[in-house]
A and B are shown apart, each in its own frame.
Chain A
Amino acid sequence: MTEPVTIDAPVGVPLPTARSARLVNGAGRFVADARPAGGLEVAFVRSAHASARILSIDAAAARAMPGVAAVLTAADLAPILKSFRGTHGAFPDLVAPRQTALAADIVRWSGEPVALVLAASRAVAEDAAELVEIDYDPLPAVADPRAAVAEGAPAIHPEAPDNVALTLIHEKGDVDAAFAQAAHVAELAFSFGRVTGVPLETRGIVATYEAGERRLTVSMSHQCPHQMNVEFAGLLGLDVEKVRVSCLDVGGGFGVKQQLYGDELAVCAAAMLTGRPVRFIADRLESMVSDIHAREHVVTGRIAVDGEGRILAFDIDDLFAIGAYSQYPRSSAGEIRSVIGLAGAPYRFCAMRGRARVVFQNKPPSGHYRGVGHPIGCAVTEGLVDAGAAAAGIDPLEFRRINLLTAADLPYASPNGTTFPRLTFPQCLDALEKAVDLPAVHRDVAAGRAEGRCLGLGIVAFVEQTSRGSGFYGDGGVAVSSRDSCTIRLEPTGGLRCLSSVTEQGQGSEMGVTQIVAAAVGVPLERVEVVTGDTAATAQGGGTWGSRCLAIGGEAAWHAGRKLRTEILELAGSLLQADPATLRLMDGAIHDASGARMSLADLAVTAHYRPHAFGGRHPQLVQSADYSPLDGPFRAGSGFQLSLVEVDVELGSVKLLRHVVVHEAGRIVNPLLADEQIRGAVAQGLGSALFEELTFDAEGQPLATTLADYRLPEASDLPDIEVVHAKAPPIPGSALGAAGLGEAGTVGAAAAVFNAVNDALAPYGGRVSAMPLTMGRILAGLGRVKG
């Protein structure tokens, strides 16, 4: 097995991204920036009903409008476009009803696409969309998760008469005995508001079809171009190699852009049917009702603690509302895995019971948003741990110290069903106590409280599962790749061009690959050009999901770089008549013990144009490597988050005074970008803790369809976010030894704030159980208004 190696600069050096040079000038290239000649613009007719039968669609008036090229419905697309089901082999009992790109007979959420209008401009397409007359027969709608599973609730799909898509039962150890013998038991209820990623660049796609060659060329804003290439080919009956998906600059993804959307699929079909380039740029209103949603859970949990403050057991019941369909192709079941499989993850305990029910409702489908179910699992666990500590009368951090997993426990087969090979809580706790003067924080809180301020402190532990292996999707029969690849070409001037299957939405994965390749080969950073996001250029790979780009794609880049370096040194040895083992490649020059002997540029020129100079050896000048974690289902990051808050008990508002993240994820390739990843992820967690919620009325009509109603955190809402990296050796099993870290901040942020606010409210006898922590919920939690 490969073990971590020593890697020189520029790996480990804080460096700004290369791409930012064009982005700060406004010279980025996003999908909406180009309009293909002769192209058509799309507006969708979306259902205004959350639940209704389509009786008829009359598009005659729309088609007759000047500038309108076509109006297409499900019936028009059916001959060339397959339907799909969001199944997953890991959940064989998951009810995954068949879905079409445009609704055919029944609409199941308000905002579901029903027809597609193609016109000369988006404005004209919208004019025409208003003229498409759809006769609906309204059906009863179900929006609230509890209402969906109540007796007599209308069934959203005939396949799931009780609206339950899946029930997952997990039990390990003697849970009943643990609770029976516990010295302390605490029980809490939680509910989590539906949220979504809101990348500032909305989704967008431009599709061009050449009928003669059956060739589909797609430019889109996406995290996983290879996934889309395979899906478009499969669903449209094309050859994978005749489809090309490229992603230019992508304005944020966060999981929203790792999905397949019916509207985008319909755009490809429309390009095939019309023979003209078709362009669809989602507007913000339709984004809010068509982008993937996430994290609508209603949870109850219990914790059992013995007389010494040791956690004995957890018992979790999770109701997870996924909207109208199981999302294709990844399915919508992922979040419950994180809630059950991460319950109590940082801790040693002996028994666990989990029940998770995945339920349908008349809302947009739910899928993968940064952290997937991790933030829920963490908030439930850490809420219960604080409650357990309170029941046992032990300081919350002390209580965690008693129960946190240590090196002696590892690998730890947790009763939650997950085995953790490596966690680093002792190192993280050490780093936390070094970075934060906790006794001083406690003194300040006490002093503030004495002055009548409502202050609260929350410290939570978290685990982030990153860089997944192929066991989950691969064995589940889902065509989502856990591999990543890198091909490096030596250009005739000594520069390197790398084709990497990682993708870039701003997180810096491209820069990380650049640094790794520069270090692996031994060339200056400026001579490494990385190409990403184009399926015709890069080999197959997973792209961005689940915090994986550098841990997996970076490992591939390292191995490709070392292979190229080996070849370069062999070629140099041939020219210099030296043993390659005595040569080194540094800063773009070949050195022996006496110093630089030859520039890489000279070697490259010779190899490209005078290959006969190498004594019969054929210079390849290109090397590839591919990597997938074969050694386990995931690599874990560990950490703590600390939140200090002040609650205004009169207004019910929360002020974030301090937020600290302590984190460990193996080797850090670029500390600058790593810190900013964590900060950005924390901000999203804080948003879901305090502001963001996709609200609906009881009939499933969305109430938060603008950015005035769906409240993203603003600069003035957030504190500085202190980031501390705990020190631990690189993760065994690979040369780079890195775990992912893109979601770590989100995983624990909301939990920390939630615990801090409840700590603040406790002296007032108050408690909140629902996120986001709106003024109304806090005032209700304080008993100042009725809940």
Chain B
Amino acid sequence: MILTEPVAPVTIETTVNGETVRAVVSPRQSLADFLRDDLGLTGTRIGCEHGVCGTCTVVFDGRTARSCLLLAVQADGATIETIEGATRSGRLASLQAAFRARSALQCGFCTAGVLLTAAEVIEEGVSDPTALRHALSGNLCRCTGYQAIVEAIAKVAAGTPHD
């Protein structure tokens, strides 16, 4: 929080990766900037700041969302999970291992957003490669051409029971 902000700051209380955080934020600050700049959770990366690339995806109140399209003030009373939390809990472990083994990442900049989205769509029962490609169409990757990503996710999805 920069004290030279022209509009009065707002105090929020939020749960990030299982920890309660009380913070003072500027109304115009995006959730992405708050996570990165104020909480040091830099695993959430910013690729476009206008909601297209999906790189800054986090889990907001249980669903993936682009953190550049949320305000930090909206986090008040909300529950947020970032790649750091999802890594610590181990819930992405099989996807992360599959991504490494299949070389489904190159520069790694889009990877957190892709992984969090992938975990959600697997949970929803998507496993067929064509359906996965559609489910991931909102997560841009400029390095891989997507095939390795789709194959890595499909492999995990095939071994994941869902309802």
Contact = CB atoms under 8 A, between A and B. Distances in A.
Q: Answer whether A and B touch in the complex at a CB cut-off of 8 Å.
A: yes
Given A26-B43, A680-B144, A715-B139, A17 B5 contact: no
Interface in B18-49: 26, 28-29, 36-37, 42-49
Q: Main secondary structure on chain B at its contact with chain A? A: loop
A22 B108 CA distance: 9
Contacts of A707: 48, 50, 52-53, 140
Nearest to A672: B103
Contact of B147 (A66, A67, A718): A718
Contact of B106 (A66, A680, A682): A680
B83 to A, nearest CB: 3
Interface stretch (B59-67, B130-138, B155-163): B130-138
Contacts of A22: 108
B77 interface: no
A202 B45 CA distance: 11
Contacts of A67: 2, 4-5
A63 B132 CA distance: 51
B145 A682 contact: yes
A321 to B, nearest CB: 24
B36 A684 contact: no
B71 to A, nearest CB: 13
B111 A24 contact: yes
A680 B145 contact: yes
A491 to B, nearest CB: 26
B146 A683 contact: yes
Given A715-B150, A716-B133, A200 B144 contact: no
A676 B107 contact: no
Interface string B100-141: 111101111111100100000000000000001110111111
B111 A252 contact: no
Interface stretch (A121-129, A337-345, A417-425): A121-129
A30 B144 contact: no
Nearest to B42: A33
Interface string A29-55: 010110100000000000000000000
B87 to A, nearest CB: 5
Interface string A673-690: 100100111111000000
B25 to A, nearest CB: 12
Given A123-B5, A252-B143, A718-B146, A20 B43 contact: no
Given A715-B136, A715-B146, A718-B145, A505 B52 contact: no
Task: Place the interface of chain A in its size category.
Answer: 35 or more
A380 interface: no
Interface string A246-270: 0001111010000000000000000
Given A24-B108, A24-B115, A200-B109, A679 B148 contact: yes
A676 B37 CA distance: 33
A201 interface: yes
A123 B142 contact: no
B108 A673 contact: no
A676 B45 contact: no
Contacts of B87: 25-27
A20 B103 contact: yes
A683 B52 contact: no
Nearest to B106: A506
A716 B137 contact: yes
A721 B145 CA distance: 8
A19 interface: yes
Contacts of B100: 16, 20-21, 24
Contacts of B96: 24-25
30 contacts: A16-B100, A20-B105, A21-B100, A24-B115, A25-B84, A25-B96, A26-B42, A26-B83, A26-B87, A28-B43, A67-B4, A67-B5, A199-B107, A199-B142, A201-B47, A201-B107, A250-B107, A251-B108, A252-B142, A284-B50, A505-B107, A506-B107, A672-B103, A679-B148, A706-B52, A712-B142, A715-B133, A715-B136, A715-B137, A715-B146
Given A201-B107, A683-B142, 12 more contacts: A20-B100, A24-B105, A67-B2, A67-B5, A124-B6, A508-B103, A706-B50, A708-B52, A714-B138, A714-B140, A716-B133, A716-B134
Which A-B residue pairs are the 9 nearest by beta carbons?
A: A26-B43, A23-B108, A67-B4, A506-B107, A506-B106, A26-B83, A683-B145, A251-B109, A707-B52
